[in-house]
Structure 1
Amino acid sequence: MGQTQKKIALVTGAGSGIGRASALALMKAGFFVVLTGRRVEPLQQTLDQGVAEGGEGLAVPADVSEPESVEALFGRIRNECGRLDLLFNNAGVGAPAVTMDELDVQVWKRTVDINLTGTFLCAREAFRLMKEQQPRGGRIINNGSISAHSPRPLSIAYTATKHAITGLTKSVSLDGRAYDIACGQIDIGNAETPLTKNTSKGRLQPDGSTRPEATMDVSHVANAVVHMASLPLDVNVQFMTVMASKMPFLGRG
């Protein structure tokens, strides 16, 4: 691609859901967006849609849980884009809704590897690049979750990783000050994506019942990401919660 005058953004998990919506919104807002995820076809579908709407981007498959894969991804960004202005650390997975004594250790490790270690690996490489590039600095946005504040029943692996993301966000935000690297977190509740397709039909509640919950269009999340991404580096949204107004959160449990 060579150098571009546009700001360069990287969106992980860009093949579907929040990642796809955010990548498309960032392209529409004028960013050149590098899209990554494990599967080529969904990434290409996102890119094709963005280009058809006048955007620019690059699809680079990668597994965020693998250090070598992340290093290769950032090597492509460095070589083909020259810099990175924004990382949206979005990639994540859930885990089966079981009590902790029934949770397979390999499922726990996979959830930690993708949700937490993957976020760290991408933030680590972004930090290194943003620290060295000229002009120096950039922004990292981590996808937390409502579960970073209040867990759902039977969600120990997912909840633990999202609580850890909050600590990671605070540390990166603090350590990035000296290098003009801003870091914030967006906590999302009940956005309509393939992962939440059954929410309106019924979700398990703390009292053991299953009840429908309100949802919101994923475009509201994408618009919030664009807002955070478009701020000058001397302004930061440290934490933002975007949620369906009537979903159970405050007072949950």
Structure 2
Amino acid sequence: MTASDEVSVPGRVAVVTGAGSGIGAAVATGLLEHGWLVALAGRRAAALRETAEAAGRSGVPEGRALVVPADVTSPESVAALFGAVRDTWGRLDLLVNNAGVFGTAAPVDELSPEQWRTVIDTNLTGSFLCAREAFAMMRAQDPRGGRIINNGSLAAHTPRPLSAAYTASKHAVTGLTKSLSLDGRPYRIACGQIDIGNAATDMTSGFGRGALQADGSVRPEPTMDVSAVVDAVLYMAGLPLEANVQSLTVLATTMPSHVGRG
């Protein structure tokens, strides 16, 4: 498909990174079910295909999901991802920068430079590389513009113990979000951030048994259904480009941290 064919695209076009599991898979499926064309990006092709097949079983028409294995830490891989979107659908309306890792939980003096780089390369540099390609597409296409939603974290505001790399990466994502939001204004490119607390995914599956708290105790933590995150992203993505959710926090209501002291 060429740029001149974009008027025939039956729906808006999105890229979701980390779409093979957890929040990314849920968000990608939600977008597909609401009529979006979605490129599913992630390192595990089989997991991406499972997301696409699950969406098909829920009634999403064949061809609305594009499986593109990609490594967000690689500039070449990210460029190929957005090139595939351009070649297939001719434009891009939404990027959900979701791919991320928590990394090794350890005191900062026990965190190796390699462990630090793994988290920063994925959470921060990966978000930058994808935003860079999306920004270029959105700036050049006709009609111009689009939206970028960065997956931050409550750690962007309130860290967990033993999370120096993850917390630093999410603080930096907030700065990236604000810069993209500002720099995108002349081109109708909106950028916002969603900070999520304890959505029920494989990553949080152990929280019900206990999670380390700031006072050194280990306490069970509640989770919320991931559908709450999907609903929030759909709201952000559905706004006209003249409106933007700059920052949105959605969390399990009775989490023992972030609001108040324990």
- Name the TM-score, length of structure 1 as normaliser: 0.98
Amino acid at match of 1:121: L
1:33 and 2:38 are equivalent in the alignment = yes
- The 3-state SS of whatever aligns with 2:59 is coil
Equivalent residue number for residue 50 of structure 1: 55
- The 3-state SS of whatever aligns with 1:88 is strand
Return the alpha-carbon distance in structure 1 between the equivalents of residues 219 and 111 of structure 2: 24
Equivalent residue number for residue 253 of structure 2: 245
Residue 207 of structure 1 deviates from its aligned partner by: 1.0
Equivalent residue number for residue 71 of structure 1: 79
Return the alpha-carbon distance in structure 1 between the equivalents of residues 152 and 261 of structure 2: 18
Residue 112 of structure 1 deviates from its aligned partner by: 0.4
1:62 and 2:67 are equivalent in the alignment = no
Decide which of 97, 118, 129 is 2:126's aligned counterpart: 118
Return the alpha-carbon distance in structure 2 between the equivalents of residues 77 and 144 of structure 1: 24
Residue 96 of structure 1 deviates from its aligned partner by: 1.7
Q: Which runs of 4+ in 1 moved over 6 A?
A: none
Return the alpha-carbon distance in structure 1 between the equivalents of residues 231 and 111 of structure 2: 36
- The 3-state SS of whatever aligns with 1:161 is helix
Equivalent residue number for residue 232 of structure 2: 224
Residue 53 of structure 1 deviates from its aligned partner by: 2.0
Equivalent residue number for residue 136 of structure 1: 144
Return the alpha-carbon distance in structure 2 between the equivalents of residues 194 and 187 of structure 1: 18
Residue 214 of structure 1 deviates from its aligned partner by: 1.1
C-alpha distance after superposition, 1:118-148 (max 9, x if no partner): 0000000000000000100000000000000
- The 3-state SS of whatever aligns with 2:69 is coil
1:91 and 2:103 are equivalent in the alignment = no
- The 3-state SS of whatever aligns with 1:5 is coil
Decide which of 167, 184, 207 is 1:159's aligned counterpart: 167
Aligned length: 253
Residue 52 of structure 1 deviates from its aligned partner by: 2.2
Equivalent residue number for residue 106 of structure 1: 114
- The 3-state SS of whatever aligns with 1:35 is strand
Q: What RMSD over aligned residues (CA atoms) do the two structures have, in Å?
A: 1.1
Equivalent residue number for residue 186 of structure 2: 178
Return the alpha-carbon distance in structure 2 between the equivalents of residues 24 and 220 of structure 1: 13
- Name the TM-score, length of structure 2 as normaliser: 0.94
Amino acid at match of 1:41: A
Residue 79 of structure 1 deviates from its aligned partner by: 0.8
- The 3-state SS of whatever aligns with 1:60 is strand
Equivalent residue number for residue 203 of structure 1: 211
Decide which of 152, 155, 163 is 1:147's aligned counterpart: 155
Return the alpha-carbon distance in structure 2 between the equivalents of residues 163 and 252 of structure 1: 21
Return the alpha-carbon distance in structure 1 between the equivalents of residues 196 and 226 of structure 2: 10
Return the alpha-carbon distance in structure 1 between the equivalents of residues 238 and 202 of structure 2: 27
C-alpha distance after superposition, 1:149-194 (max 9, x if no partner): 0100110000000000000000000000000000000000000111
Return the alpha-carbon distance in structure 2 between the equivalents of residues 134 and 238 of structure 1: 24
Residue 97 of structure 1 deviates from its aligned partner by: 1.4
Residue 252 of structure 1 deviates from its aligned partner by: 4.7
Would the aligned equivalents of 1:150 and 1:252 in 2 still touch at CA under 8 Å? no
Amino acid at match of 2:184: G
